[in-house]
């Protein structure tokens, strides 16, 4: 059985084709610059390598057709017929309070996702567009929705209710929802494996640090607090999002600059974060290079981002009382040793002791690594996330009628024997170039 997963953004469409029977990725890639011009697809197929094709995609339906045509291509594709695709899993960012787990999309579910678009105006509309485009092209297979918010539905009211008029919650659903749930689910389950603990006995602080970034407090294996709120704007410093700030700033700037609420919202979501501080960069690699060259604003940016992360670790440690491990994941979390070092420096009194050499070595998306000192009471892991695998497993289980909330469901990657064959193959090649990586592997694949 082949399962296609789609992650549709406002100007992109990410995909993966997974063969369930052999547990392998057949193909994956992304179509970039959808609707904005200069579109192209970056495509990988097992045994056929990588390909980049320029192709204008004025909308997501054209982008999906490009993906399917590429998958069917006799030279660079992965399947001979669309009939081989038996189900499609869709990332749906916001499920509100209506969904505590993944669902098969029907008319009622689609109606709910559209109603929730007010809560996620930057995310749910493109997610819905991706579903509708796929539904038109693949109308005879089940389509499933995997929600970013579902993982956080275990948060207690004290964590998700804001100190605002309660009627706003009752009338409009104003509360903390949290995001990155699919990523957090994966790394939480993997952290339990690496700790050798039962998943529902682990206390964790999870840090998903990419262009979007959020923190998650996990008590006894379930989410009890997270940094993103009603929308993904709250919390950590991000690529272009402000994260935590005084809400009155928006009104102050509207008055001073004479701009509209919509313009302020755009500034907070698309012109702030590390881009707002540097006024040049969103890519942390560029910021690191600039900082090394003496760019004061870049240096300040790194300090601010690390300080915000450190504060969340401290607050979640206090909320949990006991922490078994801290986990870094996502593009920046997995690939930025300097930022991780700054975040963890000075936390020794909390039992968090980083090994500087291990941390400097750990810079890979192909292996789970441990960067804490051997005598550190709190372990520190770097775990490459795999949201697509969660989406695939949820979709398969929904089709088979075996799916349930994660507290009643076991994923394949919770096994101590689990190996991501694609990553293991890439790691073996990398170890030949960088043998010191073996020093930091959390487990040998």
Report how far apart, in Å, the C-alpha atoms of 423 and of each of 277, 367, 393, 418, 444 are: 35, 7, 18, 12, 12
Joined together, the tokens standing for residue 294 give 């003496």
How open is the CA angle 61-63-66, to the nearest 5 degrees?
110
Shortest CA distance to 90 belongs to which of 9, 159, 157? 9
For the range 286-289, what are the long-range contacts, defined as Cβ-Cβ under 8 Å and sequence gap of 24 or more? 288/336, 288/338
Catalytic residue among 2, 148, 225, 386: 148
Check: CB of residue 229 under 8 Å from CB of residue 247.
Answer: no
Active site residue 148: yes
Measured torsion, CA atoms of residues 89, 93, 95, 99, in degrees rounded to the nearest 10: 40
d(Cα 384, Cα 330) in Å, to the nearest integer? 6
For the range 370-379, what are the long-range contacts, defined as Cβ-Cβ under 8 Å and sequence gap of 24 or more? 370/194, 370/440, 370/441, 370/442, 371/340, 371/440, 376/351, 376/352, 377/351, 377/353, 378/323, 378/324, 378/325, 378/326, 378/350, 378/351, 378/352, 378/353, 379/194, 379/195, 379/324, 379/325, 379/326
**Element housing 129 (H / E):** helix 124-137
Which DSSP state fits 340? H
Report how far apart, in Å, the C-alpha atoms of 221 and of each of 203, 313, 406, 415, 442 are: 7, 17, 10, 16, 20
Phi and psi at residue 87, to the nearest 5°: -165, 160
Shortest CA distance to 193 belongs to which of 415, 422, 444, 437? 415
Joined together, the tokens standing for residue 184 give 């957090």
Question: What angle in degrees, to the nearest 10, is found between the helix axes of 107-115 and 124-137?
Answer: 150
d(Cα 415, Cα 252) in Å, to the nearest integer? 53
Shortest CA distance to 441 belongs to which of 375, 356, 383? 383
Joined together, the tokens standing for residue 333 give 């979390």
| Integer Rg of the chain from CA | 21
Report how far apart, in Å, the C-alpha atoms of 15 and of each of 27, 71, 215 are: 8, 11, 25
Catalytic residues: 148
């Amino acid at each position: 059985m082949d399962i296609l997963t789609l992650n549709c953004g406002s100007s992109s469409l990410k995909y993966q084709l997974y063969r369930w029977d052999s547990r392998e990725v057949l193909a994956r890639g992304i179509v970039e610059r959808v609707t904005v011009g200069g579109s192209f697809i970056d495509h990988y197929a097992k045994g056929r390598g990588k390909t980049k094709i320029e192709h204008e995609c004025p909308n997501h339906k054209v982008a999906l057709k490009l993906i399917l045509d590429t998958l069917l291509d006799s030279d660079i594709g992965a399947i001979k017929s669309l009939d081989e695709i038996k189900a499609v899993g869709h990332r749906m960012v916001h499920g509100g309070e209506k969904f505590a787990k993944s669902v098969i999309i029907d008319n009622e579910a689609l109606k709910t996702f559209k109603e929730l678009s007010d809560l996620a105006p930057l995310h749910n509309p493109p997610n819905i567009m991706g579903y509708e485009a796929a539904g038109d092209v693949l109308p005879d297979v089940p389509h499933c929705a995997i929600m970013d918010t579902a993982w956080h539905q275990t948060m207690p009211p004290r964590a998700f209710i804001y100190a605002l008029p309660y009627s706003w919650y009752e009338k409009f659903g104003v509360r903390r929802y949290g995001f990155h749930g699919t990523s957090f689910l994966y790394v939480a389950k993997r952290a339990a494996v690496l700790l050798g603990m039962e998943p529902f006995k682990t206390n964790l602080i999870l840090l998903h640090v990419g262009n979007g970034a959020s923190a998650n407090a996990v008590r006894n294996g379930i989410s009890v607090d997270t940094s993103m709120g009603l929308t993904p704007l709250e919390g950590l410093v991000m690529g272009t999002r402000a994260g935590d700030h005084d809400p009155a700033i928006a009104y102050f700037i509207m008055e001073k600059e004479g701009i509209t609420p919509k313009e302020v919202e755009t500034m907070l979501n698309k012109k702030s974060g590390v881009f707002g501080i540097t006024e040049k960069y969103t890519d942390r690699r560029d910021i690191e290079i600039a900082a090394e060259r003496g760019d004061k604003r870049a240096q300040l940016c790194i300090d601010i981002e690390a300080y915000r992360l450190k504060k969340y670790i401290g607050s979640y440690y206090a909320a949990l009382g006991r922490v078994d491990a801290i986990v870094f994941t996502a593009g920046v979390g997995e690939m930025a040793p300097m930022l991780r070092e700054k975040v963890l420096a000075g936390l020794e009194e909390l039992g968090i002791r980083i090994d500087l050499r291990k941390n400097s070595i750990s810079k890979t998306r192909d292996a789970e690594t441990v960067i804490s000192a051997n005598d550190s009471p709190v372990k520190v892991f770097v775990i490459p996330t795999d949201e697509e695998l969660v989406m695939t497993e949820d979709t398969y289980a929904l089709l088979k009628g075996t799916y349930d909330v994660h507290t009643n469901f076991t994923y394949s990657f919770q096994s101590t024997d689990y190996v991501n064959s694609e990553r293991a193959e890439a790691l073996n090649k990398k170890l030949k170039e960088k043998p010191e990586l073996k020093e930091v592997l959390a487990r040998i694949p």
